[in-house]
Amino acid sequence: MRKCVAIYCLLVGLSILSLWAGLLIGGRVPELQADPAAITTHLVAEGLTALALISAGLAMLKRWRWAESNGRLALGMLLYSTVNSLGYYLGRAGGEAFVALFLLLFAATLLILLVSRERSPASR
């Protein structure tokens, strides 16, 4: 189970960084002009989430003692991020695919948190 969670954390963390890099390099973030303060804080939050997920994934693979607690924190950050992103795309025309993606990501993350909590030695 730990290896699956680690891979999930790594894949999602790297995907977040890749997505934002592509959007920024491609000039597809109009909020940089319209509302730079809001998008900057959003980018910081997304970047911290991605880095937390990547560090948690690597720590889990290396079986470091603090890996599980860091993983829970990172996955909690991801839950927040998915809800925030859902809110952004819910009101946008053509955002249906992103809404579906973020709902799936939210459900998968919540399931992982619940299942890993039940299997954790600390929860027994």
Residue-by-residue pLDDT tens, the chain, 124 positions = 889 999 999 999 999 999 999 999 999 999 999 999 999 999 999 999 999 999 999 999 999 999 999 999 999 999 999 999 999 899 888 889 999 999 999 999 999 999 987 665 554 4
Q: What is the pLDDT of residue 123?
A: 46
Cα–Cα dist 46/50, whole Å = 6
**DSSP sequence for 38-51:** HHHHHHHHHHHHHH
Q: What is the pLDDT of residue 92?
A: 85
Cα–Cα dist 49/54, whole Å = 9
Q: What is the pLDDT of residue 124?
A: 44
Q: What is the pLDDT of residue 118?
A: 64
Q: Under a CB-based contact definition with an 8 Å cutoff, are residues 117 and 123 in contact? A: yes
- Comparing CA positions, the residue from 81, 78, 85, 61 lying closest to residue 112 is 78
Q: What is the pLDDT of residue 91?
A: 81
